[in-house]
Structure 1
Amino acid sequence: MDFMMGSGTTLIDAKLLNRRAIEYDINPEALKITKENLNFDGIFLYKPIVEIVDVKLRV
């Protein structure tokens, strides 16, 4: 689990190692970059699911 997605390095490593990973980021640009970086082919057990989630706390 990574709370600062950035460019998605943790998700890329998880994809390459056939592991599951969860990442969060409040920056929508980080999500866009991560989706682009995860767009490569191979034989993988798990397909990465990248989606926008509102992680702001509501009081």
Structure 2
Amino acid sequence: MPDYKEMYFQLAAKVANAVDILVEAQQQGEHDYTEEETPVISLKNSKREKKGGDQA
């Protein structure tokens, strides 16, 4: 008869390892993104700027 308790603990340990790998990957991605020197997206306020000085 299989030892289900041992199988469960092995599975739980592997799941915990997988979660640790995913968390580390997320943190590395966030670190890489925040260390970027140039902005990834540049927004312009062209819709808010009125040509000709109109303040309508």
The two structures share one fold, judged by TM-score above 0.5 = no
Q: Flag the structure with larger Rg.
A: 2
Specify the TM-score bucket, using the shorter chain as the normaliser. under 0.3
- With a CA cutoff of 8 Å and minimum separation of 6, indicate the structure with the bigger relative contact order: 1
Alignment TM-score, normalising by the size of structure 2:
0.28
Alignment TM-score, normalising by the size of structure 1:
0.27
